[in-house]
Structure 1
Amino acid sequence: MNSRYFLLIAVSIFLALIMALMPLPFSFDPFRPDWVLLVLMYWALAVPHRLNIGTAWVVGLLIDLATGSPLGINSLTYSICIFVTVSNFQKIRNFSIWQQAILVGLFLTLYHLMQFWLNHFLMDVYFNPQYLWPVVTGMLSWPWIFLLLRKYRRHFRIR
């Protein structure tokens, strides 16, 4: 039973990885939501005993390898965001979807600011307000991601 749940969760994370790596037109790319982090945060809220910081670390490492970013940046930032999500999952579950979207926006802001900070020290990158567009699009897409993954979880009875 446990391997079935793991496989079903892994499929959704794999689809999020595909969406994160799918090429977009240059003008739309700054607005791409952080699909992988949104899916990880959903599973961290829905079944926190199945998805942990180690999973976030491995998925972040896969993103680092796939995108060519410095090794460990996404791993560290995903792990921190999932730690904050899992440690407060009981409180966050009680909020409405729109209140959750605001909290997800705060977590995405934390993620992007940590990414900028690490990239600034490692590669001398300077801040551009466009870095925060995925926060807005991620916040707006949270209700649909939440409802879609909840339907997926209930259909396959992932507990």
Structure 2
Amino acid sequence: MRRNGGLGFIYLSLLVALLLTVMPMPQQVKLFRPDWALLVVLYWTMALPGRVNILTAFVLGFLTDVLIGTVLGVNALAFSVVAFIVAVNHLKIRNFSVIQQALLMGLFLALYHLLLFWLSHFLTGVYFLPAYLWPVLTGMLVWPWLFWLLRRYRRQFKIQ
């Protein structure tokens, strides 16, 4: 029963991340919003790759597509690619310090945004703007606190 309960707590954290992703914000601040859903998926993929995997990332990316109103499958594909890289290297990433992980998450977020741009450019003709990468910086800055919060959450509720 504990395993199912742990899965419920994981899904609850993913739901909160989706809510943070679509929460209304002023236009000036919206540009800097971290990619909450992707960061939470990456944490759980790194911490528990047997429970949260590429399929979970795909479903959460698809839900992000639906909630944000982008072309269906764009976020799903980008979430899946980044989650695959984290899942394959989760043992190495776990051994890094939180600061090193934040830098690595910055690379993963940059890859995610470049994949999003490339797919959006191919499908709808969007042009690249440097401001498109602000969430990479904010995601790197948020990672240590998000890591600490989710790790504490995982240990408190004994999620395995």
User: For the superposition of Structure 1 and Structure 2, which TM-score range results when normalised by the shorter chain?
Assistant: over 0.9
The aligned residue for residue 85 of structure 1 is 86
- How many percent of aligned residue pairs carry the same amino acid? 54
The aligned residue for residue 67 of structure 1 is 68
The aligned residue for residue 144 of structure 2 is 143
Distance in 2 separating the partners of 1:131 and 1:33: 12
Structure 1: unaligned runs, 5 residues or longer: none
Deviation, 1:144, is 0.1
Correspondences of 1:1-159 after superposition (within 5 Å): 1=1, 2-159=3-160
Structure 2: unaligned runs, 5 residues or longer: none
Distance in 1 separating the partners of 2:6 and 2:58: 19
Deviation, 1:83, is 0.2
In the TM superposition, what whole-angstrom CA distance separates every residue of 1:107-152 from its partner, at most 9, and x where no partner exists?
0000000000000000000000001000000000000000000000
Distance in 2 separating the partners of 1:101 and 1:126: 28
- RMSD of the alignment, in Å? 0.6
Distance in 1 separating the partners of 2:117 and 2:148: 30
SS of 1:134's equivalent in the other structure is helix
Distance in 1 separating the partners of 2:43 and 2:68: 23
Distance in 2 separating the partners of 1:12 and 1:150: 12
Deviation, 1:43, is 0.3
Which stretches of structure 1, 4 residues or more, deviate above 2 A after TM superposition? none
SS of 1:103's equivalent in the other structure is helix
Q: Please report the TM-score for the alignment, with normalisation by the length of structure 1.
A: 0.99
What is the count of residue pairs matched by the alignment?
159
Distance in 2 separating the partners of 1:76 and 1:69: 12
